[in-house]
Amino acid sequence: MSKKLSAGSDKRVEIMTSIKSICLFCGSSNEVEKKYLDLADELGTYIASHGYRLVYGGGGVGLMGAAARAAYQAKGEVLGIMPRFLLQKERIFDDVEHRIVDTMHERKQMMYEESDAFIVLPGGIGTLEEAVEVLSWARLNLHAKPMAFLDSGEFWKPFFELMDHIVKGRFTPAEFLDQFTHTTSPEQAVRALEDRFVQLK
Ligand code: AMP
């Protein structure tokens, strides 16, 4: 399938892609260093201005809120999926399309079903849980949707070291590491998803 992607304000390029929706897993904390919120903002803008829909947890707080607001301001399509009991705590961003579900499991299932690929920004235990569960489904061949971890090179380093340790112990085959990658810019992350999407189709 062919899709027009804008590659800057004055230039448009045509690339082959089937990725339409990118799911974002990221932190909900407002207490983090500004550089993390800035990266979320940059990613939201990039996703929207390159014609992808952003699917995320629906919140207006932390990196979630920063990414969603940026995508919305860049006139992108955004879908937020929020469990009812978190409506107050995660302060739903209701300027964009949103769906209210009953449980965390329903949220995660819907985020997964509505997306073709995943980007993981810095986050806490919730982010880690969401990313690892989707990876564990890939490990069971339940899907082949690619995932890119995105930071400035340092945040997810211990996670990749842990994965190497797991592979060295032969608990997971080395080939599984091709399913996901560590990237340091929104452009690199989205390109990595596109490359892997084609490769895994
Ligand atoms: P955190 O990284 O801890 O700030 O959490 C990021 C997001 O993950 C928040 O929106 C949490 O509500 C969400 N989250 C935490 N645990 C889960 C879970 N088990 N399933 C789905 N979402 C979760």
Give me ligand 1 centre to Cα 183, in Å: 22
Classified as helix, coil or strand, 16 is strand
- By most ligand atoms within 8 Å of CB, the mutation choice from 130, 151, 155 for ligand 1 is 130
Q: In the chain, what is the straight-line distance between the N-terminal and C-terminal CA atoms, in Å?
A: 13
Distance between CA atoms of residues 164 and 6, nearest Å: 36
What ranges in the chain are assigned the alpha helix state H?
34-49, 62-73, 104-113, 125-139, 157-168, 186-200
Return the domain boundaries, the chain.
18-200
Distance between CA atoms of residues 1 and 4, nearest Å: 10
Percentage of the chain with pLDDT > 70? 90
How high is the pLDDT of residue 188? 97
Q: Is the pLDDT assigned to residue 98 strictly greater than 80?
A: yes
Q: Is the pLDDT assigned to residue 134 strictly greater than 60?
A: yes
How high is the pLDDT of residue 17? 53
Q: Is the pLDDT assigned to residue 3 strictly greater than 60?
A: no
Q: Which atom of ligand 1 is nearest to the CA of 90?
A: 10
Determine whether the shortest distance from the Cβ of 58 to ligand 1 is under 6 A.
no
Determine whether the shortest distance from the Cβ of 76 to ligand 1 is under 6 A.
no
Domain 18-200 CATH (choose: 3.40.50.720, 3.40.50.300, 3.40.50.10540, 3.40.50.450): 3.40.50.450
Distance of CA 193 to the CA centre of its chain: 10
Q: Tell me which of 2-6, 20-24, 85-89, 128-132 is least confident.
A: 2-6
What pLDDT, in 10s, does the model give residues 20-44?
Answer: 999 999 999 999 999 999 999 999 9
Q: Is the pLDDT assigned to residue 92 strictly greater than 80?
A: yes
Q: pTM (2 decimals)?
A: 0.90
Percentage of the chain with pLDDT > 90? 85
Beta bridge partner(s), residue 118: 23, 147
Amino acid (one-letter) located at 137:
W
Q: Which two tokens stand for residue 107?
A: 């949220």
Residue 87, phi-psi category: left (phi > 0), alpha (psi -120 to 50), beta (remainder): alpha
Q: Is the pLDDT assigned to residue 103 strictly greater than 60?
A: yes
Q: How confident is the model at residue 10 (pLDDT cuts 50, 70, 90)?
A: very low
Q: Which two tokens stand for residue 34?
A: 């500004």
What mean pLDDT is predicted for residues 80-94? Answer: 93
How high is the pLDDT of residue 198? 72
Determine whether the shortest distance from the Cβ of 104 to ligand 1 is under 6 A.
yes
Pairing of strands 2-6, 12-16: antiparallel
Distance between CA atoms of residues 111 and 54, nearest Å: 10
How high is the pLDDT of residue 6? 43
Give me ligand 1 centre to Cα 96, in Å: 19
Q: What is the mean pLDDT of the chain?
A: 91
Give me ligand 1 centre to Cα 127, in Å: 5
Distance between CA atoms of residues 107 and 126, nearest Å: 12
Distance between CA atoms of residues 122 and 155, nearest Å: 6
- By most ligand atoms within 8 Å of CB, the mutation choice from 106, 127, 136, 156 for ligand 1 is 127
Q: How many Cβ atoms sit within 10 Å of the Cβ of residue 41?
A: 20
Determine whether the shortest distance from the Cβ of 126 to ligand 1 is under 6 A.
yes
**Helix 186-200 to helix 34-49 angle, to the nearest 10 degrees?**
50
Residue 183, phi-psi category: left (phi > 0), alpha (psi -120 to 50), beta (remainder): beta
